[in-house]
Structure 1
């Protein structure tokens, strides 16, 4: 929106035409010379302003971002010659007049130049973001959207089901401050990815990338070879163009990645090797696997080939296809489908010498989305969006639990601090299907008021499908019967007879639940000469659609209680049946639905011509992850204390009350500085409280008892001039609470430790965070340098000489890990191939300086590769292949070493 005036007199020019070149979209100014153009897809555009008797003006490089107003004011000069025109370039840093909170919009051009592999890394570079935590919130407090539709993994709550590749993103919106009423189901932040549409010209690109790790720290990262150029592989394909010109276009994007990772193991042991470090000379015969240690004879088979084996591998592939239908100037529709699949084997330092037999975690997600956009008039339009999201997660070594390749569980032993045989025998599976319907209506009442209203309905279907196995011979002498076979030279077991756990076993937490939720909102964006006000109200409704036990001291009626008369005798009904004591027995009523109202307010005030002050306030509610409602849904209590945490359908929504104030100043043309301060209280945080049954068994129940708060200061600096760009931000943050995660207090009670009586730093309370990106990018050449500096995050320091009594007052996160920093470099160079296209060469270097950043530390020393070892540890350590320090020196505690990635691509 904006105005058109006479350049000499400043007189408003009515009926001037503003047209977005290359489209059929435009507007005419009103009697006050003002205009607005609604419903423009994010991207970079060229505007043409024209009026009879005036020179036409071409404004190039106009940036349109999602949920933002781009103000373009035009001054036309009178002329007597028709056809004259003036070309100007829009300020790359438009005045942020309508920004009432902290929002960062990253365009596709900016994303392309950053040394990042995916959009998650772009998000991590924003001020206020620490390893997925937005301004001090837990990981579950962020809402991830694709084209405005939520794609959060609702069961666990910490991830998203759909990932869009960076090449397919037209605009990335990251909101770390308060947000408008249209956004909900989040307390800390919003991430919205706007996908690209196909164009009217055929375009294609393909690229192939390989990478390897080159490090001087070979003592930590063993087995890496400088000649293994393709240790990691990455292939990308993108196609777009018209199906029917001007009517139907398509856009497709595919990516395949296979990574062998930077950590290797050594195959000393195979899965059917047996070791015994507890029963000296168990077999009573001399074998080739016997070894003497501290005067005792022990047994350890090691039939591995001694080869290096990658153990933090990963396989990913993704696909996206989108059809866009430009039905008329007033009606547009699109259909999109996405696929994300990944395989990640179990990984950890314990597998260093036995890298085989690990289960693989599979994550398979599919999404289908339909969008319909319709102009009701020049001042109003509405959107209808429907989506289907199917997420299937499963983990196993072999899909069939009776697969004959499983070895006897007795081989699963350890020695020297590492696994020496056996396999992962667990089977877990979970399915989540979300059906979503979203409707939005936008009405630009006039140049001062824009009303937006809408609703969202979501129906979840979640299935938890664990498979647990056991030996049918358990409890008999045959279960662990083994012997040394002199013919094979190995230990053999009496055959393992696999059977499934019965469906009524306490451990078999199998269920299917179908909760649903509904949201509605209304907001008014009031834009005046010097002030913009965002005022909104949101309604959220959630129905768990299940039952709950009325008596938590006897939730599954495993204990029977009867009514007694005055002589303590059991009472009977007329049919001779004993009468149950209803006060001590559970009934199972329907869990009630709940709702919340969330007011939102934001204000920005223009100071002069190049500064904007903003303030915002809001209430934000979010239901906890679905597992906290349905875990152990049959409410069975084991026979021991602190062995289970039950789901609670009565759990309430968590609540955040947030405040923010900031100022943005244009220092020079194309140079801006933004300062913000914020504070938020987080109430009714998810926790686990302890209940005691009538037979004195203690167990956990998810509830709303935790509290936290966060406060901080942010500074953001942007500079764009020609080919040069500089983006920098700094965050000072304090995050406090009584627990890092929902089960912290419950676990402390289980260890006979007192609850934390005051607020402590949370695990992600990173005091200082700084990011900087410096780029130089021409049409055929570009280079970008990015740096990250993070002060150490908290950990719990445990002194060596601490007594059991002193441990009671040793509270979590009482010390800090070392500071980390990383520098990444990326560049590309293009060669023209005549009129066909371009050949592009890529180079990226991650961790350019090969820093050994300590991400985790030992609790007794505060460092990654050092620990205090007690005499008793030496006395009990038994091994014939390593020393006690081997298990302490864990490469997973460090960030990845230097990685050099090269690629070649064809752009047509």
Structure 2
């Protein structure tokens, strides 16, 4: 049965699986302790938590190699007849590293087995050091103030952190770093339960060939696995009563065997591990200066009475614009920004034989949070958007080793392969806390009844051959005389604006509420309206902060790796296939009521003058009525569907009042053809988005919707439509359904790497080949939306011309005018422009001779994009050599260097919907570019490590990076039919620096890691939107390099752990006691760990003029771009803890003892409560004042505000933005119990 099971698993794995991407190796020599002679055929066993995870025998020369092994800490046991068994505990294995471990065995004549137990000490000089970075083990992480992978990464020299976050790695953009958890490339959430982390490997340079799709660092997280014995732990952590931010966490872990083997070690054949964190934080955005908001009384006042009369007889003012400083308060914690999350991870390990292993594992993460919104902090925090995210992963790993016989003389040894399939689901939703996915509730405030009367004018007409003169002719059915309103509790705060308006002008409908327009002009609100902002700074109470949307992303991974030793060459090779399926749908629901109003009755707005109705009174004709004219061609689909839902004829002349919808009763009012008001109950449960057509929701580019992989009603597509379906697909009624498929990029890679020694040199030489296919349609020509002629097709033009010799056949022809071309004015080859003589020009506007820049179009009358304008994305193939080596100068010094080429697929702004091009002429928004290429980094490094003492070493590293093809906002000047802004691979930059690291292994009580980095990071852009403001101001695309925002010239990363041991190794304060009682060791198993991260200030661009959210304007450069610096920034975090041990079971014959421990700790983040300045205003250079209120040139504008004093008070609070400062001090107390 087991054989059949393995065959089935093997078939599944080989048809859809990938390999575990984290491997370690153990290599060394077994020798006699006294004679140093090699010991052949010695048995070496590797154990993890008591379970054997690897083993081999030494060869004739005493050499051994064990791989693959899981990164982390293991115990190594060596045995041989006539020698004492040696157990080396705590051997650290790094991901993609070889741990060299020579073992000396002591000869013995005793027949009883004796075991020599020693603790492993990580060597100061690692001769396999061909990659730069750091490995941090679970034991070290457990004592750190912050215990997540990103926080661990910030302690490594060269990793930038401004406020505890993991930022740029060696000057690259933050999205250039890749995170792996148990070999799975992470999309979405990258957090791991704290008790589940076995080891974190941070790779800064010398990236092994097996890693790709990253141009900066690699963060490798290895989680814990099963154990031979059952164990568990629980952790409680809280900040209640210690700080105002309300942090609480419960963590747990449990592990053990499910089936044990029958050997003497009871090795686990089937084991499991499970860990989780559940946390809640009241304040999701802590600040050291607190938050300015209204007092409870003031807030209640402007919620219940948001308006006041203007005093002019019409209109109203916002009461929020009369708030003064007495109405404001400062709160220490942000309001309604709480978050809670559930994070679980686990695995089951099946060890069928000593060389075959199967692991099944996965993780689950759920996060619910109220999003912080600075504009809402004053009076609208109750409406903060809710965001839910769910991320789960599952994987199956299969590996098999063929270690070969230690007696074999074959050149081929230690072959293994590993296969893994993993799947990741990352999905989420966001929306209003009260409405969520009920999108028609967002803009709804109540039922408006408009009372209409027909209007007439004196005139003449002929009816049935009879001429009538000077009689009343109907000219409209729709004259509004009164609007009554019945509020609903759907949006009660927004409804108060209209309630207040009706109260202010109650009893005086003339000029105030005869129609909806009067209500809106006077300051009241109708369905689909949004309250006016308070001085354009803060949201008024009740404002909907967002729409509703959801995303659903999948990642499928298949990878196969193998390794083989050929003599002294360790060959690694592998292949990977990955596909992502990204889907989303977003709605702008508040405005749907405005759209409904515009789509309804549009086809019956005119009068049918051909069918008059004569009205007589006492035989005298004094009036002629005209019915509404039905125009089937202009009837909107929404109108038709709504009539059907109301039970009305779809071709009827009934006039529907959409604002009369009663959400409580699902009714709506309408006027029949005779002008009589009726009420109808919808025959559907509620209003539905399916009442609209997709085209109506796209609204010619001013869209209320955006989707991909979902249909417009919010249902995920079961099949992938083609690109052309968007333009052609219809339903049974002929309505264009506009299906848009999910974004499905494909990433493939293969690599081979050889590690070998040549004399004293250790080389890692490899090559990686990546293939990226965006798997979507792109424009044939990014400058011309429609088919155009090239030089090779010039015979199709209506005139003859001669091309210059340097103009190629694929160059695009430009003519004097599109409609009636008579001459050629220039050419273009991709991004290079030429005039008619073939001379290169910089400004394409030179080709404009009065009719705009005009390409020679195949169809000059075309005004909408067609399928002929597109082609498939050309897959990008990148070859990346990786060369690194190390050279031990002596036992106390090591020289190392590397050369890497790294590429990364576009991480953003790549997916482009066909709707983008279909509505291209109607929008002015910046659009994505589907034709983006991977970014590229060329990395050089030289390093030197020197042992300073028996327990410390120093390392100096010099690095240089060239970053190419980075994404940047780009203006396609000269594009047809209009210029547009998108993105392009035009950014470049360089980073160079030196890192000095000091590593002090525990010496008595102290363990220290310290790094100093001197770095220069310059680029043409810090992000994809750096050039956006320049382009908006009409300036050319940015091409000069400047310091990047994370260009910290001097960076310090320090981790210090000071700890007292227990027993005979204790050296702390002690109180001796009488009567033979044991002394009191006050600080036994007690210690503290602190991290210091900081350095010099980062750059910003100073301005010589004052701008503000009120005044607007463009900053005028003062000095040079990024030429000013913020103050120095430092952050201290500390953890103080004590371990208390308990004996659960004393050891006795045949049974091991069991021990438990309780860890009590205080964790203090930002110990000194330093208010580091992380943002300033460009004119003043201060974080709390932009200079606007005191600027002479703006005093008139300030004094013209509704209430100048109120404006000054509110603006002063607004400009002192908490986001300009680092996080405050946070204090947490915790208990951790493990056994």
Greater Rg over alpha carbons, structure: 2
Moved more, 703-712 or 504-513: 504-513
Q: Which residue in 1 is equivalent to 2:465?
A: none
Measured in 2, the distance between the counterparts of 1:818 and 1:76 equals 58
Residue 110 of structure 1 aligns to a residue in which SS?
Answer: helix
Q: Which residue in 2 is equivalent to 1:842?
A: 1161
Matched, 1:259 2:281: yes
Matched, 1:712 2:993: yes
Measured in 1, the distance between the counterparts of 2:117 and 2:128 equals 26
1:141 counterpart (176, 179, 185): 176
Structure 1 residue 876: Cα displacement: 4.3
Measured in 1, the distance between the counterparts of 2:1117 and 2:1187 equals 21
Structure 1 residue 877: Cα displacement: 4.5
Q: Which residue in 1 is equivalent to 2:967?
A: 686
Aligned residues: 857
Q: Which residue in 2 is equivalent to 1:360?
A: 386
Measured in 2, the distance between the counterparts of 1:91 and 1:876 equals 73
Contact kept in structure 2, 1:273 and 1:420, CA below 8 Å = no
Q: Which residue in 1 is equivalent to 2:420?
A: 385
1:205 counterpart (202, 222, 233): 233
Q: Which residue in 2 is equivalent to 1:702?
A: 983
1:250 counterpart (264, 267, 272): 272
Measured in 2, the distance between the counterparts of 1:640 and 1:750 equals 18
Q: Which residue in 1 is equivalent to 2:1174?
A: 855
Contact kept in structure 2, 1:771 and 1:786, CA below 8 Å = yes
Cα deviation, 1:148-188, whole Å, max 9, x if unaligned, reads 2211x3xxxxxx43422232111111101130111100111
2:556 counterpart (414, 420, 435): 435
Aligned residue runs from structure 1 range 40-439, under 5 A: 40-82=69-111, 83=113, 86-131=116-161, 132-151=167-186, 153=187, 160-211=188-239, 231-245=246-260, 246-261=268-283, 262=286, 263-264=290-291, 265-266=293-294, 268-269=298-299, 280-281=310-311, 284=314, 310-354=335-379, 355-378=381-404, 379-397=414-432, 398-403=436-441, 405-406=490-491, 407=494, 409-415=529-535, 417-421=537-541, 422-439=543-560
Matched, 1:502 2:697: yes
Measured in 1, the distance between the counterparts of 2:599 and 2:310 equals 21
Residue 630 of structure 1 aligns to a residue in which SS?
Answer: coil
| CA distance 1:471–1:878, change in 2 (3 Å) | same
Q: Which residue in 1 is equivalent to 2:652?
A: none
Contact kept in structure 2, 1:719 and 1:725, CA below 8 Å = yes
Measured in 2, the distance between the counterparts of 1:45 and 1:714 equals 31
Measured in 1, the distance between the counterparts of 2:98 and 2:229 equals 28
Measured in 1, the distance between the counterparts of 2:114 and 2:1044 equals 63
Contact kept in structure 1, 2:29 and 2:64, CA below 8 Å = yes
1:456 counterpart (537, 562, 576): 576
Structure 1 residue 620: Cα displacement: 0.8
Structure 1 residue 539: Cα displacement: 1.0
Structure 1 residue 203: Cα displacement: 1.4
| CA distance 1:686–1:90, change in 2 (3 Å) | same
List runs of 5+ in structure 2 lacking aligned partners: 1-26, 162-166, 261-267, 405-413, 445-489, 495-527, 601-657, 663-686, 709-741, 789-795, 801-817, 822-856, 1063-1084, 1145-1154
Measured in 1, the distance between the counterparts of 2:1113 and 2:373 equals 30
Q: Which residue in 2 is equivalent to 1:812?
A: 1121
Q: Which residue in 1 is equivalent to 2:931?
A: 650
Q: Which residue in 1 is equivalent to 2:755?
A: 525
List runs of 5+ in structure 1 lacking aligned partners: 154-159, 215-225, 480-492, 572-577
Q: Which residue in 1 is equivalent to 2:815?
A: none
Measured in 2, the distance between the counterparts of 1:593 and 1:305 equals 55
Contact kept in structure 2, 1:98 and 1:527, CA below 8 Å = no
Q: Which residue in 1 is equivalent to 2:39?
A: 13
Q: Which residue in 2 is equivalent to 1:487?
A: none
Matched, 1:580 2:859: yes
Contact kept in structure 2, 1:91 and 1:670, CA below 8 Å = no
Contact kept in structure 1, 2:903 and 2:937, CA below 8 Å = yes
Q: Which residue in 1 is equivalent to 2:1199?
A: 875
Structure 1 residue 133: Cα displacement: 1.0
Structure 1 residue 33: Cα displacement: 2.0
Contact kept in structure 2, 1:101 and 1:660, CA below 8 Å = no
Contact kept in structure 2, 1:633 and 1:647, CA below 8 Å = no
Matched, 1:889 2:1084: no
Residue 530 of structure 2 aligns to a residue in which SS?
Answer: helix
Contact kept in structure 2, 1:274 and 1:420, CA below 8 Å = no
Q: Which residue in 1 is equivalent to 2:1030?
A: 748
| CA distance 1:812–1:478, change in 2 (3 Å) | farther
Cα deviation, 1:718-766, whole Å, max 9, x if unaligned, reads 2222553111111111100111112322431112345445210011111
Structure 1 residue 583: Cα displacement: 11
| CA distance 1:633–1:244, change in 2 (3 Å) | farther
Measured in 1, the distance between the counterparts of 2:64 and 2:392 equals 41
| CA distance 1:117–1:656, change in 2 (3 Å) | same
Contact kept in structure 2, 1:635 and 1:646, CA below 8 Å = no
Aligned residue runs from structure 1 range 787-806, under 5 A: 787-800=1092-1105
| CA distance 1:80–1:543, change in 2 (3 Å) | same
TM-score normalized with structure 1 length: 0.86
Residue 660 of structure 1 aligns to a residue in which SS?
Answer: strand
Moved more, 261-270 or 890-899: 261-270
Structure 1 residue 633: Cα displacement: 5.5
Structure 1 residue 798: Cα displacement: 0.9
Structure 1 residue 418: Cα displacement: 2.1
| CA distance 1:608–1:698, change in 2 (3 Å) | same
Structure 1 residue 632: Cα displacement: 6.6
| CA distance 1:240–1:693, change in 2 (3 Å) | same
Residue 749 of structure 1 aligns to a residue in which SS?
Answer: helix
Cα deviation, 1:316-369, whole Å, max 9, x if unaligned, reads 221112111111111111111211122333323322212121212322211111
| CA distance 1:46–1:806, change in 2 (3 Å) | closer
Structure 1 residue 308: Cα displacement: 8.0
Measured in 2, the distance between the counterparts of 1:417 and 1:283 equals 27
Residue 122 of structure 1 aligns to a residue in which SS?
Answer: helix
Structure 1 residue 636: Cα displacement: 4.2
Question: Which structure's residues are more often helix, by fraction?
Answer: 2
| CA distance 1:23–1:510, change in 2 (3 Å) | closer
Measured in 2, the distance between the counterparts of 1:70 and 1:825 equals 32
| CA distance 1:413–1:283, change in 2 (3 Å) | farther
Measured in 2, the distance between the counterparts of 1:627 and 1:449 equals 43
Cα deviation, 1:670-709, whole Å, max 9, x if unaligned, reads 3222110100101111123212576663312322111111
| CA distance 1:727–1:383, change in 2 (3 Å) | same
Contact kept in structure 1, 2:87 and 2:117, CA below 8 Å = yes
| CA distance 1:323–1:650, change in 2 (3 Å) | same
| CA distance 1:846–1:47, change in 2 (3 Å) | same
Contact kept in structure 2, 1:622 and 1:653, CA below 8 Å = yes
